[in-house]
Structure 1
């Protein structure tokens, strides 16, 4: 004969407290005395009770769910941010619904609509929401919306990131100081990559350099694009002395292909990447790259979420900065 599942009353009876105390503990464990909380935890384990989170949502008007929308997780520069954020949210007893919007963000709007339908407490974005109707829907949804990995002038709600244009400008200054004079850009077809390329070109021309050559590649970035990008250098009227790649994956592939062709990196051809992935430090030669502290972004996300829960004001734009990491490849 099947037995009924354990209920809240069973936990209360085993812990020697009222059902109301168990409910308070499940919704706000910090308001229950430590010794009482320990007895309730033990009773939950012994009975196998699974809390009804839907009931808690109705009572508190909070789902304790947060939607994190990212283009992809394979070979992604967003992984450090997502992992650190999920760890922090778990400590606050908040669950994360992770949705993939595609490298070109073609599933971004449907996933936003799904998150809103699930009544999540917050939406954390890495893709850029360019649709005015969707941006307005998010502004009027009554939840926290955090745009990460960028720093738009007019955020939907809160933006935590850095200026991609400034990152491109800084790379141009860095390479000019290193004595390079003929840059070639490999630019993934994305808004942020284009902003970095625009910043690089503007700074390079402002400082008196010649117009850089460039090659546009599809997203997502991958190793094979770097190999093909190296072969495409043969079609240029003059060989560049440095290739500025839109990702570390492209830089890795380009270096491998250059070395296979007998080129010495960086003596005959310098290469830079973006993202400072682990492979940038593991390669030989190691890859000069732009580092963005994903864990720092995650900490700022948590600070904003906790401030909103407490009802305190937060900044609209939070700049976490970036830095050029000089290594062997340039």
Structure 2
């Protein structure tokens, strides 16, 4: 005959403390003295006690459940941010539900519904929600909502990121300063990439250049798109002197295809990427790219969540900036 599952009282009796002390430890281990905390950990292990997090959520205001929504994780520029963020959240005693929203947030609404149904403490979004109805709905919830990798004019709650448009403008300024005159843009079909392309084009034309040619590619970005993008250059009326790629993966594929065709990079064709992935510095030639401090985004997200848990107010917009990393490819 099966025995009943261990209860909070069993842990308390084993550890020689009150049930209230065990409860405080489970909700916030740092408030319990070190020696007492160790006895409670040993008691939990000895009794095989599994905390009822649902009951805790109903009794209190926090579930310690965080939803992190990202478009994709395969060859993604978000991976370092997500990994750092999940590690930090777990160290703070949270559990993280990681959900994929698909190309340009195709499944975003369904994942938001699931997160809200699970009574999460916070929803962390990668990118900016463009749908006005969804933004309004999230503003009406008591859940902390953090938009990352972008800076909308009016955040839903808190935004931690940078201006994609400004990143495009800075790349235009950089390339003009390097003497390039015929840029060609390879633009993934995402709102983030489009904002960078618009920023680049507006700055380029404003500074006296002819509007760049462009090619749109599907998301998520991958190596093969770069190879196809190079071949598509043959259809242009005039060969560009620099190709501005929407990701380092596209830039890598394009460089390899150009070299296979006997084209010297950057002497005959310069190439830039975006994201500053590790392989951008490992390639030969190394790839000129735009670096985003993903680890800082993660740190700022953790800082906001810790402040909210303590009942403190936070900024609504946190700009982590970006920088162009000049390397051999341009």
Give the TM-score taking structure 1 as reference length: 0.98
CA distance in 2, matches of 1:292, 1:108: 24
CA distance in 1, matches of 2:139, 2:15: 44
1:184-241, CA deviations, whole angstroms, 9 ceiling, x for partnerless residues? 1101111111110111111111111122111111111111110010001111111111
The answer (yes or no) to whether the contact 2:148–2:161 under 8 Å persists in 1 is yes
Q: Name the SS of the counterpart of 1:69 in structure 2.
A: strand
The CA deviation at 1:128 is 2.8
Aligned length: 330
* Residues 1:236 and 2:205 are matched in the alignment: no
The CA deviation at 1:4 is 3.0
Matches within 5 A, 1:96-111: 96-111=96-111
> For residue 45 of structure 2, what is the aligned residue in structure 1?
45
CA distance in 2, matches of 1:133, 1:230: 40
The answer (yes or no) to whether the contact 2:248–2:289 under 8 Å persists in 1 is yes
The answer (yes or no) to whether the contact 1:80–1:295 under 8 Å persists in 2 is yes
Q: Name the SS of the counterpart of 1:50 in structure 2.
A: coil
The CA deviation at 1:265 is 0.7
Q: Name the SS of the counterpart of 2:58 in structure 1.
A: helix
Q: Name the SS of the counterpart of 2:165 in structure 1.
A: helix
The answer (yes or no) to whether the contact 2:128–2:152 under 8 Å persists in 1 is no
1:129-187, CA deviations, whole angstroms, 9 ceiling, x for partnerless residues? 22222111111111110000000001111111000010001001111111111111101
RMSD: 1.0
* Residues 1:190 and 2:182 are matched in the alignment: no
> For residue 282 of structure 1, what is the aligned residue in structure 2?
282
* Residues 1:181 and 2:181 are matched in the alignment: yes
The CA deviation at 1:3 is 3.2
Q: Name the SS of the counterpart of 1:68 in structure 2.
A: strand
> For residue 141 of structure 2, what is the aligned residue in structure 1?
141
More displaced 10-residue stretch of structure 1: 317-326 or 57-66: 57-66
> For residue 164 of structure 1, what is the aligned residue in structure 2?
164
1:225-282, CA deviations, whole angstroms, 9 ceiling, x for partnerless residues? 1001000111111111110000011001100100110111111111000011111111
Q: Name the SS of the counterpart of 1:234 in structure 2.
A: helix
The answer (yes or no) to whether the contact 1:69–1:127 under 8 Å persists in 2 is no
* Residues 1:253 and 2:250 are matched in the alignment: no
> For residue 18 of structure 1, what is the aligned residue in structure 2?
18
Q: Name the SS of the counterpart of 1:313 in structure 2.
A: coil
Q: Which runs of 5+ in 1 are unaligned?
A: none
The CA deviation at 1:16 is 1.0
More displaced 10-residue stretch of structure 1: 239-248 or 131-140: 131-140
The answer (yes or no) to whether the contact 1:286–1:328 under 8 Å persists in 2 is yes
Q: Which runs of 5+ in 2 are unaligned?
A: none
Q: Name the SS of the counterpart of 1:141 in structure 2.
A: coil
The answer (yes or no) to whether the contact 1:275–1:290 under 8 Å persists in 2 is yes
CA distance in 1, matches of 2:205, 2:137: 41
> For residue 112 of structure 1, what is the aligned residue in structure 2?
112
> For residue 7 of structure 2, what is the aligned residue in structure 1?
7
